[in-house]
Structure formats: structure tokens, C-alpha cells
Structure 1
């Protein structure tokens, strides 16, 4: 049996883009409904069924702090595997958290990075093991009052992610998988408001600002821009005026990021044109050096080389994948055993070509490709 498209993939990807922690929503200026995302950790099924109850989340994090000595002695000890899960092997460990002179935890993005580092292994490890890893990291570097603060934040953070899982399920159940169509901007805004409410329910305002402040500024800007583009009551001149007012109120860092992105997009368009015109590698390198500072040019050259290597590897994988799927289509095998065999072959093929982290990316790309068929 060939790979089947997932009718809910578009909705799921869209939802994750605005709801999952650390994710950023990008709405292109030309299309109010165009969305691209950066993946980020969420609570996905391993052994438990998500979303979990509030009590279950609290028990996972706070059992050793709130239980009596007798209760703690009667509970099984959660043993942390010696090695990190395969997707985290070789990754840079989170930075040490900051504490002020009074021993209180300094609330900043480092805390979220630590949580997300271990939560990104959901699916490879159960949530209880991941929570144990996070708590071990906290207790190895913090003492009270910072330790208690960090555990409280962890509890709220997990409750928030759990609530996001519930919101996701709700929206998936309300959507007709046979008639998804384009997801309206109003739905995007509605989901985002629910996510913001979930944050406020479980996290203090200073934690929300540290974890999501800059991403929220970006999302507010891009949603406002999308609403301007979508407003059919405004003519071209009025839209330009509205965008100018939006830019005037936008944070300086965001405008600088936009300018850099526009400069990079222009460079890429010109670079592609030169390639199509048959420019030599030396000419392309000269163009890059002329367009940027030496440091940026060197980074771009390294990035281009990595992209080329990735594309070669991806093309080879795609050729082998096509053989597997074509064979199943030719044989017209739709029974469960043949389907399992095909999936096993695809899994083994991915392991040959990609690292565990790359496999996650390729799996997502394969899903998007089949949905588009």
C-alpha cells in the first residue's frame, strides 16, 4: 500500500505553528493565509493519552516535594537512562540557569530552552522520564529559593503545553477532514487567543514575557499585516498608509529583522538568476562577497554548501523511496501485513541516509508531499 495523505496535516501544521511553545507565526505579506512554521516541542502520546489531567501533571513534577516521607518511600524510583535519547545525542546541552545575589532564579529564556531541550524527545521517551531528566538538571545546579521557583515554572509550563494539546484536539474534531480548504485568518486568531489564555492561566506574567515576549511581538505584527492585506475595503494607497503606521509602532528589532530578511531574499533571487544564466562558481562567490561583509559571506558560503549536501542526500533518498512506494502500488497490496512491511522498509531507508534529527524533518516533509498529491 502506498503512502496515504493525511487530510488533517495542514490543520495540524498550522496549529502547531501558532500554538506550540517557542514557535513563531509567519504570514507572508502577499497572502494573508500563508503560513510557515518552526517546529517546537509539545506533549504527544507515548504511553499516556493526552491531554493529561491537571492532577497527573502536578503529580509528575511535585511528588517528591508534596508527598510525605512514607509516601515517597512507597513509590517506585524513576531511573534515568544513562544515555540521552538518540535525537539529543551530540546536541549542545542547555546553558546554566542564572541566579541573583539573593539566590532567586533570574527569569529568562534559558529556562524555557532547558525545558524544551528535553521535551523535544517526546515520543522517544515517556513524559515521566523527561520530567525526571529536567528535575535532575534543575537540582544539580540550583538550591532554594531558585530551585522551588524553577519547579513551579516547570509545573505551569507543562500544564500550559497540556492545555495546548487539548485545544489542538478540539479544533481537529471540529474540522471536516474531507473539506478543509484554506484555513481562515479568523480561525488562526481564535486559536491564538485560546493559547494566550492558556498561558495566563498557568504562567506568571514575567515568565510569559521572558518565554514568549519577542515571539508575541512578531506574531502581533504579522497578524496585523495579514489583516491589512486581507481588508478589501482598503485601496492600495490606504493599505500602504496602514502598513506605514504599523511599521512606525513596531519594535526596532523587528524592523531590522525584516530589512535583513528582505536583503537576503533579494540576494537569493539575484544569485538564482546568475545560476540560471550560467555563472561560474567563482562569479557566484564574487557576487556573495560583494553583497555582504566577509563574515556574513563566509557563513552564507558554508550554509550553501550544507544545503547542497543535504539536497544530494535527499534526492538519493527520494529515488529509493519511489522504488518502495511504486512497488506497493504495482502489486496493489492493501492488506495490513504489506503495509507494515512497506513502513518498515521506509524506516530502514531513512536510517541509512539520515541522523535521528534529520529523520524527524524528512518524516514531516514526506507527510507534506503525500498530502499535496
Structure 2
């Protein structure tokens, strides 16, 4: 099967989830906590899954035995690793990597009265917190940090459960890395049409199969339940919109049936998104008509409750500041990459060091995660355009 270049962007999104774990797709924490979320196009569906990518000690994806050995501290050919090994003293670096410094540490995991681990999002947040530093630290150090966190707060049977979930989660992420690699290798640079919805659906199905292979149902529900509901809804909506066999009235009827079956939280999110989009359009129109800042503020106050209006004002200011920072960063980023290309030294350790230092100048540790994800997608998009241009020559 061949994928179109823009499909590579969708597949590349699969590798960026860790950078944005716990929040809406490419939205800041403040965005996610506000009442409003923008409508998301099909390619931006939150089918973003984490990808294991670290410095070049190993070739990724890893063999499943290697993952088991990392977690259980056994030889990768020895399948008899016991949870008790985790109790042994292990060297855990005292200083967190720079991207995690100043971040809020994961919440303590929940345990039932009988000592069983309560399966909820806290477990995934703990794993993703440390995995978000992938690239700064090797996978074995990150796994050591996670194991240390587990052993410091859990005892059996909760500890055994936590270790089993960690093993399955890493195996799952490793499998997603293989899926991404498979799709990248099958890219057809001569096929430059619009990305195909069926490719997105195929990737998602493969991700779901990998998930079911390594994680129990209660873990899948806790980690991905709400995201799956959102993805199902958005993919169904995209399929309705794309179905040329339906006329306008039939599409409206199909959408009404879809909404009738959708969970209330998702419909509320959609209503909020529609309200915001309408507000944004009207706000932009007022700006283009020369409205004063006072008039714009009055319009915001009239459109929302005082609390929401205040949050929107703060959010707009933060977005403006973010765009200014991002613009300045992009200019200097382009200088670094252009210099490396001129010196035939792209992707060198020196270039990566300069980029890392540049990010630290402009962004907080949490913002750096977001910038990495954006840079990754921008790189994939540029590569697709380059392939298209060279094919046309």
C-alpha cells in the first residue's frame, strides 16, 4: 500500500502524543481548561499515540524481549523476571531532565482497601510524565525513574499490577513505533493528492489492535476511553461529509443520528466549540471594520459570562505572546538549520545542541514539549513538499 505525502503528516502525528499528553490536541493547558475547543479537522484527530524515539543506543522499534528486560531488570532472554527485583536499589539520577524541571510531579496512585491498584488516568499520567523526556534521556533511565516511582508508593499486589501495566504500555508504544515506521517506508512520493481518510482509519485500526494486544480492557478504558469516543465521533462525521452518495438533507439526517448517539460531554464540547468559532468570526469582522479595543472588549463581555470573558481575554493575550515567541524562535531556528545545510552538517550533534539551547532561551519546559511536536510536524510537512517539488522536476 502506498501513502500520500500528506498522510505522512497524519502518521507523524502518531509520534508526537507524549509531547502533549494530558491535554487537547496541540492546545496549551489553559486552552484545555477553558470551556471552548476549536473544531478539529480529520487529520487533527487525537489518534496521536506515543512513539519510542531515543538516542541511538538501540534500533527502534525494540524487540519485545528488550522491553521486558528493561522493566524487569532481567536478561532479555530470561523471562523469569520477578517484581521483587524492583525492590533492589537502583541508580536513579537525582536531577530531572531540563524539560521536566519545574513541572508538577504526577499525583500519587490510588490503591483500594484490599491493596489492589485502582485503574485510572493517574497511572498513564505518571508514565507519560517521564516518557515525555524521551530524547533527553535514554529509555532505560526513564524506565528506571518510573519503576522508582512505583516502588516508592506501592506494595504488592498493587506493585505487581503497576509493573504489568507499565510493561504492556511500553510494548504498545513500541508497536506504534513499528506502525509509524511501516507507513513511512511505504510512502509514495509520486502520489501527491490529498490525504486519504481511509489511511487515517487504517492507522487507527492498527493502533487499536496493538493496544488490545498488550493492555487489559479496564486499562484501555481508563487510559483512552474518552479519547476513543471523540475519535469515533469525528471519524464518523468525516465519513458522512466525504460520502458523495448522500445529498445535503441525507447528510444532515446522518449527522443528527450521530449526535443522538454521542455522549453528552462530547456534544457539550461541540456546542462550546461552535459558540467560540462564531464568536471568533464576528470578532474578526469587527476588527476588519475598524472597531476600537473598547468595542471589542464590550463584544466579548456581551458574548459570554463575565468569568468566561475574562478567561478568553487572558487566553488571547497568552496566544499573542506565544505567537510572538514562536515567530522569533522560528527565525533563529531557520538560521541554524540553513547554516547546517550549507556546511553539509544537518542533523549533527552540534546542530541539535544549538536547537536545544535555543528552545531553552524562548520557552518553558512545558512549552518545549509543544515546540518539539510542532517542529516534528513542520519537518514532515516540509519533507512532503520537497518530495513533491523534486518529483515535478
2:215 counterpart residue number? 203
Distance 2:305 2:233 in 1: 29
- Is 2:45 the counterpart of 1:49? no
Distance 1:272 1:42 in 2: 38
The 5-angstrom pairing of residues 173-212 of structure 1 reads 173-212=185-224
Pair 54,343 (structure 1): closer, same or farther in 2 beyond 3 Å: closer
Shift of 1:351: 3.9
Task: Specify which of 10, 34, 40 is matched with residue 14 of structure 1.
Answer: 10
Shift of 1:66: 4.5
Q: SS of the residue aligned with 1:260?
A: helix
1:272 counterpart residue number? 284
Pair 8,37 (structure 1): closer, same or farther in 2 beyond 3 Å: farther
Q: With the length of structure 2 as denominator, give the TM-score of the two structures.
A: 0.80
2:391 counterpart residue number? none
Shift of 1:362: 3.7
Task: Specify which of 354, 357, 368 is matched with residue 363 of structure 2.
Answer: 354
Distance 1:180 1:355 in 2: 37
- Check whether the contact 1:42–1:119 (CA below 8 A) recurs between aligned residues: no
The 5-angstrom pairing of residues 1-373 of structure 1 reads 10-17=6-13, 34-35=43-44, 41-46=50-55, 47-63=57-73, 66-67=80-81, 78-321=90-333, 334-337=342-345, 348-363=357-372, 364-365=374-375, 366-367=378-379, 370-371=382-383
- Check whether the contact 2:99–2:366 (CA below 8 A) recurs between aligned residues: yes
Distance 1:109 1:123 in 2: 24
Pair 235,182 (structure 1): closer, same or farther in 2 beyond 3 Å: same
Distance 2:127 2:247 in 1: 46
Distance 2:108 2:63 in 1: 31
Q: SS of the residue aligned with 1:96?
A: coil
Distance 1:16 1:338 in 2: 20
How many residues are aligned here? 358
Shift of 1:347: 5.3
Deviation track 1:80-130 (CA, whole Å, cap 9, x = no partner) reads 211111111111111111111111111111111111111111101111111
Shift of 1:221: 0.9
- Check whether the contact 2:130–2:146 (CA below 8 A) recurs between aligned residues: yes
Unaligned runs of 5+ in 2: 27-37, 387-393
Deviation track 1:12-63 (CA, whole Å, cap 9, x = no partner) reads 441254685769789x9897x5436586642113222111111111111122
- Check whether the contact 1:15–1:168 (CA below 8 A) recurs between aligned residues: yes
Deviation track 1:239-298 (CA, whole Å, cap 9, x = no partner) reads 111111111111111111110111111111112222222222222222222211222112
Pair 83,260 (structure 1): closer, same or farther in 2 beyond 3 Å: same
Q: SS of the residue aligned with 2:107?
A: coil
Deviation track 1:311-355 (CA, whole Å, cap 9, x = no partner) reads 2223333444566677x59xxx74425886777665554443333
Distance 2:256 2:60 in 1: 44
- Check whether the contact 1:95–1:110 (CA below 8 A) recurs between aligned residues: yes
How large is the RMSD of aligned CA atoms in angstroms?
A: 3.4
Distance 1:207 1:68 in 2: 22
Distance 1:62 1:344 in 2: 33
- Check whether the contact 2:11–2:180 (CA below 8 A) recurs between aligned residues: yes
- Check whether the contact 1:8–1:177 (CA below 8 A) recurs between aligned residues: yes
Unaligned runs of 5+ in 1: 1-6
Pair 242,286 (structure 1): closer, same or farther in 2 beyond 3 Å: same
